[in-house]
Structure formats: structure tokens, C-alpha cells
Amino acid sequence: MVGRSGDGSGGLWRLADELNPPEVGCRAMEAECIRRFHRHEPKENQCSSCVLKHIKAPVQLVWSLVRRFDQPQRYKPFVSRCIVQGDFAVGCLREVNIKSGLPATTSTERLEQLDDNEHILSIKIVGGDHRLQNYSSVITAHPEMIDGGAGTLVIESFVVDVPDGNTKDDTCFFVEALIKCNLKSLAVVSERLAHQDLAAEPMAL
């Protein structure tokens, strides 16, 4: 894990990578993607961080799961139910029910951006019984090659208020842990679907 602080805003920016250090070329790609799509400006009482995950599945398949703002339970293990209010479009709200085990039961979230060309999904939490105040996140999916096959680099970043009594480090570690769990589950689901698709392809004669 590498980090950077002292960005002039008083916030804390961290980069969390749960994988072994990638090759130099891969690091350059990651840095460029973060620079283009994940530039948050945390305030004095906020922290920000970025989590990366390399998935052995084509970007189209991974994105088909990520883009479903109306069905986060397809890969997020802590979501038990999701109801979208109104039409599925930018600006719509979803009511998410959280499974037991987390210090929350509901979350109200707004779809801020959905770009199917650049593979960008952005949300903002606007209500719920939790401590994630002024939480905004961006998740992007980028095609890459992994072990000679089609893969996807997924990056999720966020900015959030630091609750009273907590430090910026504590807050970042908590949110990072949730995101890592979600992205690990995304990888499992995506790679399983990719294997199923591959097995279903007819053998070449």
C-alpha cells in the first residue's frame, strides 16, 4: 500500500492495493486511470482513498455487473435488497438494505454518473442509518491483458467525512475494507461467469 497526504486541502489521500506490486507498465496504466477519473478534493474533515483490483474477465462482462445501480446485490455481499425509486437514470435514488453484521441497516444513494463508453459509475450517499456522511464514490473499469487473456482493472475511489471520534486513517481503513470485500466478490462472480461463457463456446473443428 502506498499513500500520499498533504494535498493542500487538509484531507488524506491513500492508494490501497491488495495485490502484489504489479509490473512497471501496469503501474503506469493504474496511475493514468487514477489521474483521469479519480481526482477527489477532500476537505479538512474528510479523507479519500482508492482501491484497485485486477480481474481475469473481459471488461464488458465486469462492467455489466458494475453498471447495475439497480442490482448491487449481484456482487456486493452485504446488500440484501435494493429498490430504485423512479426510472433507472442518472439522478435516480436507490434504497439499499444492508445485511446484519455491519453498523447499518439501510442506505439511500443517488446515481451521479453512468457512462457506458468510459465505464464510469459514480454514486453519492444521501441518507440512511450509518456514519458515512457526504460519501461519494467513483468506480471505473479498464480493459487489460492478464496472463495472455482478456482482463479488467477495476478502480474504486471515495471521499467521506471523518466521524467525530475517528481519525482519517481509521475511516479510510474501514471504507477500504468494505470496498475490498465488494471487489473481491466482483472478481469471483465475474471470473465464474467468464469461465461459463468459455465453456459454452463451441469447440473449433
CATH topology of domain 2-173: Alpha-D-Glucose-1,6-Bisphosphate; Chain A, domain 4 (3.30.530)
Full-model pTM:
0.86
Domain ranges of the chain: 2-173
- Cβ distance 54 to 45 under 8 Å? no
Q: What is the pLDDT along the chain (205 residues), one digit of tens a residue?
A: 333 333 434 455 566 655 444 455 578 889 999 999 998 999 999 999 999 999 999 999 999 999 999 999 999 999 999 999 989 999 999 999 998 777 789 999 999 999 999 999 999 999 999 889 999 999 999 999 999 999 999 999 999 999 999 999 999 999 999 999 999 999 999 999 999 877 766 654 4
Determine the Cα–Cα distance for residues 35 and 179; give it in Å rounded to an integer.
Answer: 20
Collapsed DSSP state (helix, strand, coil) of residue 188: helix
Collapsed DSSP state (helix, strand, coil) of residue 89: coil
Q: Rounded to the nearest 5°, which phi and psi values hold at 95? A: -105, 115
Please count the CA atoms within 13 angstroms of the CA of 71 that sit on its side-chain side.
9
